[in-house]
Amino acid sequence: MNKVLTQAEWIERAKAVLPAGGFGNFDASYFVREGKGSRVWDEDGKEYVDLLIGSGPMMLGHGHPEVVEAVLEQVPKGMTFFANNHSGVELAEEICRAVACAEKVRYVSTGSEADMYAMRLARAFTGRDKILKFEGGYHGMGPEAQMSLAPTRLVNFPQAVPDSAGIPEGVRADMLIAPYNDPDYLESLCAEHGKDIAAIIIEPLQRIVPAQPGFLQAVRDICDKHGIVLIFDEVVTGFRFGYGGAQERYGVTPDLATLGKVIGGGFALAAIAGKADIMACFEKGSDKWLMQVGTLSGNPVAAVAGLKTMEILRREGAYEKISDNGKRLMAMASKALDARGVPHVVAGAPEMFEVIFTDRDITNYRDVVAADAKKLAAYNTVLRDKGLFKSDGKTYISLALTEEDMDIAKAAYEAAAEAVAN
């Protein structure tokens, strides 16, 4: 019988074979042994209410029996083929029914790939080179995306700041950076550079910063005026902000959207979806052909998991419950801090939010970084100690949360508020 290792022992083993002892995602001092429904357990058996949900994909919770059944039915038939499969076609059909901009779909395996290819697609379609993104916007791990994602040095717009080593200087020259929620600056920037800009890529809710009323429509209008492709990065918001995603919620339709997380039902799957004339650049024979292949793109296991997940989300009351779960947790957090006189903003949306320790409105990245990061870190440490498994920057909500989970969360928020108040 194999010896059962403690979490501390696994941490030491990881350090020997993984840079910084981790996968580069979550805090490497946490190992998750298993998940079920709304809960996860670490290697020492400590139980948590899961508000990380795999960084977003597990909207139904872990091990949903209908998703598991669909996957186990598919696995004996084959896990991947590098060829078309009917489940992938059915999933694409459902995406096109649900997402306003989606006339055609191309699969990849990760949101990072989807964003990278969407930007390349806009360049192919327009014949232009520059990409405009918003400071603090997260669009994966590609070189363009790693410009001014989380700059510690705040420079004048539209200068781009690389957030990673290993990015050629030439990438910076083709990137323009704008502040989120500032349509006047965006218009002035596009008036100067519009003929060179292939795409504006934007999160409809930037991490936890909501778009102010009218901002997304202003971006759409500016793109139309200057012939710029508008890309909504809906890897996070897609099928989370309602079945039609952020496009449905805000009533603004982009030219392209990137999707991920929910559409794979917990498996590796992402997609670019958009207007047929732009997506035609993926077709061999086009004079603007963009080569794209991926070993696991559209694999049937992920496709059936995504299809079943989306079927469950279509059921009556699913989105209302998710929203209600989020609103209750947001209110709990705010009430506990208000009672102790701690200045704060609960930023984001019911489906995903974070407490920011500040006394001013949150409208862009610089408002977030001006807040008290040390207090937030201390607050989140207490939340995890008290049984809430979450990241340092976002709280994700699932359909699986129970009344018992809400009681645990309330006690955790009270303890964390007390800690930061003192």
| C-alpha to C-alpha distance for 355 and 124, rounded to whole angstroms | 40
CA 338 to chain centre: 29
CB 29 within 8 A of CB 22: no
Question: Given this model, what pLDDT does residue 308 score?
Answer: 98
Question: Given this model, what pLDDT does residue 188 score?
Answer: 98
| C-alpha to C-alpha distance for 193 and 181, rounded to whole angstroms | 19
Question: Given this model, what pLDDT does residue 189 score?
Answer: 98
Query: Which class is domain 66-313?
Result: alpha beta
How does pLDDT run across 182-222, given as a tens digit for each residue? Answer: 999 999 999 999 999 999 999 999 999 999 999 999 999 99
How does pLDDT run across 354-363, given as a tens digit for each residue? Answer: 999 999 999 9
CB 233 within 8 A of CB 219: no
- Residues sharing a CB contact under 8 Å with residue 68, sequence separation 6 or more, in sequence order: none
| C-alpha to C-alpha distance for 254 and 231, rounded to whole angstroms | 6
Specify the DSSP class assigned to residue 35: E
| C-alpha to C-alpha distance for 270 and 264, rounded to whole angstroms | 7
Question: Given this model, what pLDDT does residue 1 score?
Answer: 54
Backbone angles phi, psi at 408, to 5 degrees: -65, -45
Query: Among the residues of 296-389, which ranges form H helices?
Result: 300-313, 318-338, 365-369, 373-385
Q: Evaluate the CA torsion angle 189, 195, 196, 199 in order and state its sign.
A: positive
- Closest among 204, 208, 218, 279 to 248, alpha carbons compared: 204
Domain residue ranges in the chain? 31-63+316-421, 66-313
Question: Given this model, what pLDDT does residue 158 score?
Answer: 97
According to DSSP, the residues that pair with 162 across neighbouring strands are: 147
Lookup result for tokens 């055609």: 104
According to DSSP, the residues that pair with 47 across neighbouring strands are: 41
For residue 265, is it left (φ>0), alpha (ψ between -120 and 50) or beta? left
Specify the DSSP class assigned to residue 130: E
Point out the residues that are catalytic. 138, 233, 261
Question: Given this model, what pLDDT does residue 3 score?
Answer: 82
| C-alpha to C-alpha distance for 103 and 8, rounded to whole angstroms | 50
Question: Given this model, what pLDDT does residue 220 score?
Answer: 98
CB 350 within 8 A of CB 327: yes
Q: N- to C-terminal Cα distance for the chain?
A: 48
| C-alpha to C-alpha distance for 173 and 17, rounded to whole angstroms | 37
CA angle, residues 44, 49, 52, in degrees to nearest 5: 95
Half-sphere exposure of 286 (CA within 13 A, CB side): 16
Would you state the CATH architecture of domain 31-63+316-421? Alpha-Beta Complex (3.90)
| C-alpha to C-alpha distance for 279 and 104, rounded to whole angstroms | 6
CB 48 within 8 A of CB 39: yes
What tokens were used for 102?
A: 């989606």
Question: Given this model, what pLDDT does residue 370 score?
Answer: 95
CB 270 within 8 A of CB 264: yes
CB 420 within 8 A of CB 378: yes
- Segments of the chain with pLDDT less than 50: none
